[in-house]
Copies of this chain bind each other. A is one copy, B any other.
Amino acid sequence: MLPAQQGYDRAITVFSPDGRLYQVEYAIETVRRGTIAVGVKCKDGIVIAVEEKPRKLQISNTAQKIFQIDDHVGVAAAGYIPDARSQVDNARFFSQSNKMIYDEPVEVETIAKHLADQSQQYTQYAGVRPLGVALILGGVVSGKPQLFLTDPSGTYISYDAIAIGSGSDQVTDFLEKTYKNDLSIDEASALASAGIYLSSEEKEGTSHIRMAHIKTDSGLYEIVSDEQVANYANAAKEKYPHDKN
């Protein structure tokens, strides 16, 4: 127990002399400590995928890091997962309210902005800490795939493909090098799998990969079956062998 740690047990979010918000940066560090999450937009829809490392007797039909928000929107999370659940509940309620008011599915960007606005508030007001989680929101509205990232600072940005969590810098580099606009959803799923292999300590097997699709034709969020994940993983190993970036 070092004395230097005392300060971090009692802070509220304020500026440092060099203009940084340490609490926000520490919260982003929490995201970096989480397992990898990947989102890929393709011509047929959206792929989101996460690494989960369940204990042997953990029952995996309740996903921990991948969530459905609405019929047409899903989320992959990295960081402090209880915070992710809090934002997911918020997003679900927001999405339903929006549908009731406007009688049409909510845009993914609208949800992303709503969650990011909340995150910004948590960095500005006393009595609450910033959220320790980043989210990749993916969805299909009017047949168009949309992919957004939110983080603890209150930023939201749209990407074609992005990774968050442990090793995300390396994985995002990999995505930038290999991503193409005309990927099919199967190719995008293989790409996402390859991204997870790149970060994960598990270089074999697929039990640590969880994935969801929102396809442009149906416009519906669906969990990808373990068998199908295995297929994508095999395709990934073939197409991106020994990829170390």
Q: Which residues of A contact B (CB under 8 A)?
A: 1, 3-23, 26-33, 54-59, 61-62, 64, 80-83, 85-86, 89, 109, 113, 116-117, 119-132, 153-155, 157-162, 172, 175-176, 179
Contacts and interface: CB of A to CB of B under 8 A. Distances in A.
B10 A19 contact: no
A245 to B, nearest CB: 14
B64 A89 contact: no
Contacts of A124: 83, 86, 122, 128-129, 131
Nearest to A25: B17
Q: How many copies does the complex hold?
A: 7
Contacts of A155: 64, 81-82
B26 A160 contact: no
7 contacts: A1-B17, A14-B129, A15-B30, A19-B27, A19-B31, A85-B113, A86-B117
B64 A157 contact: yes
Contacts of A64: 155, 157
Given A21-B132, A27-B15, A126-B128, A6 B9 contact: no
Nearest to A60: B158
Nearest to A59: B158
B109 A89 contact: no
A209 to B, nearest CB: 18
A224 to B, nearest CB: 20
A3 to B, nearest CB: 6
A21 B117 contact: no
Given A4-B1, A126-B126, A15 B82 contact: no
Given A6-B7, A33-B19, A127-B125, A57 B161 contact: yes
